[in-house]
Amino acid sequence: MPEPELSASLIFSRTPLAELVGLARRLEDAGYHRVCFGEAWREPVVPMTATLAATSRIGVGSAISQIYPVNPVVTAQQAAQLQELGAGRFTLGLGLGAGFVVERWFGVPYERPLRRTREFIEVVRGVLGSPEHGPFSYEGEIFRVRKYRLPFAEQAVGVPIHLAAIGPRMQELAGELADGIIVGSLHSPRSMEETKKRIAIGADRADRDPNEVALWYYLTCCVSNDSERARALARRSLVYLTQYPHYRRVYAEEGFGALAERIAGLARERAMERAEAAITDEMIDRFCIAGTVAECRDQLRRYAGYPGSPVLHLVPFRIEEDEVVESFRLAAQLAQAPAGARATT
């Protein structure tokens, strides 16, 4: 069975932009298919621009850009220019973000997420198509556009739009409207089969082939020359996810509900060492790959029969960013055949 095509998600707050670009180039040289930038502590457009300008083969995209703090017309303008800069290598990943972040940081009410997502995608697509189809107007319940046309493109700009979706209705919306879906960090063979069913429901509403909807899934990846240190990083990453209600629901669906609630309570009390100690080896083995390069390569084979493509990531939650960078530098080797395998081919 072929090994999965690898992508990486780079989410950093303080690491210099030049270092992020250098890491993306390292992943490109190693054979990664795509590098994504997530909108967490910094916006993704500038890092994506710098990376597209400094690379030539690797796909570059957002996974994800949040839709609450921005206007879809501006997002479409940015996407069209990024696609021009990257000569077709750009993918736009959109998502809601966490409600408490949206309201606390951006001062925007976290309201009507499904309607906002539908209208946002429709406006972005309409603006991208305006050079070919004429000035775009839209009268939605949330967004309104009057006779706008992209001034710097002569033809419709094709930009794949992927939607981050965890809940069933959002996954159905992805099947209906998006070119792809991005599944969050917690999943299993059972949950992925449910995701495929929901994509198919949405695709049927739009008379689409569900197989046309690409499926990416985040996969926590902790690589170190010290296997135990890698597993310690995985524990911190799994504690981080308990802060979010949608991930606690997934923990519950996978049989870890009571434990996840207890860990979340410890995290709220700032009892982080106790929270990390409560993460079980079963949780690490279920939701992460963690260890040395050789161990992670072996663990990655578990996903060879998984639907879709993994996006390896490691959030710098109680982890120094230098250590996250080093983990990705080591993870670059996962896209390459082991030395012994190369020697025998």
Taking the C-alpha atoms of 284, 306, 7 and 94 in order, what is their torsion angle to the nearest 10 degrees?
-90
| Mean pLDDT for the stretch of residues 240-254 | 92
| Alpha-carbon span 121 to 160, nearest angstrom | 11
> 323: how many CB neighbours lie within 10 A of its CB?
14
Sign of the dihedral through C-alpha 180, 254, 39, 113: positive
d(CA 97, CA 81): 24
What pLDDT does 339 receive? Answer: 63
Q: What is the pLDDT of residue 3?
A: 65
Secondary element (H or E) of residue 291: strand 288-291
- Confidence check: pLDDT of 340 > 70: no
246 band by pLDDT with thresholds 50, 70 and 90: confident
Q: Dump pLDDT digits (tens) for 270-279.
A: 999 999 999 9
The pLDDT tens digits for 211-235 are 999 999 999 999 999 999 999 999 9
**How large is the average pLDDT for residues 34-55?**
96
With bands split at pLDDT 50, 70 and 90, how would you rate the model's confidence at 341? low
Query: Which pLDDT score, from 0 to 100, does residue 322 have?
Result: 97
pLDDT for 344: 44
Least confident of 22-36, 79-93, 98-112: 98-112
Note the pLDDT of residue 342. 47
Mean pLDDT over each residue of the chain, to the nearest integer: 95
pLDDT in tens, 148-174: 999 999 999 999 999 999 999 999 999
Beta-sheet pairing, 7-10 with 288-291: unpaired
**Res 345: pLDDT:** 39
DSSP codes joined into one string, 80-115: HHHHHHTTS-EEEEEE---HHHHHHHH------HHH
* Cα dihedral 225/226/232/237 (nearest 10): 10
Parallel, antiparallel, or unpaired: how do β-strands 90-95 and 65-66 relate?
parallel
| CA–CA separation, 50 and 35 (whole Å) | 12
pLDDT the model gives residue 288: 98
- pLDDT class of 336 with cuts at 50, 70, 90: confident
Q: Which residue has the tokens 């929901």?
A: 198
| 167-214 confidence digits (pLDDT tens) | 999 999 999 999 999 999 999 999 999 999 999 999 999 999 999 999
Position 343 scores a pLDDT of: 44
Q: What is the pLDDT of residue 40?
A: 87
Q: State percent of the chain over pLDDT 70.
A: 97
Q: What is the pLDDT of residues 278-314, one digit of tens each?
A: 999 999 999 999 999 999 999 999 998 899 999 999 9
Among residues of the chain, what percentage have pLDDT more than 90? 92
pLDDT mean over 89-95: 98
Q: Nearest to residue 104, comparing CAs of 69, 64, 74, 65? A: 69
Which residue type occupies 69?
P
pTM of the model: 0.94
Angle between helix axes 321-331 and 293-300 (nearest 10 degrees) is: 60
What is the Cα–Cα distance from 119 to 94, expressed in whole angstroms?
12
User: Rounded to an integer, what distance in angstroms lies between the CA atom of residue 124 and that of residue 103?
Assistant: 23
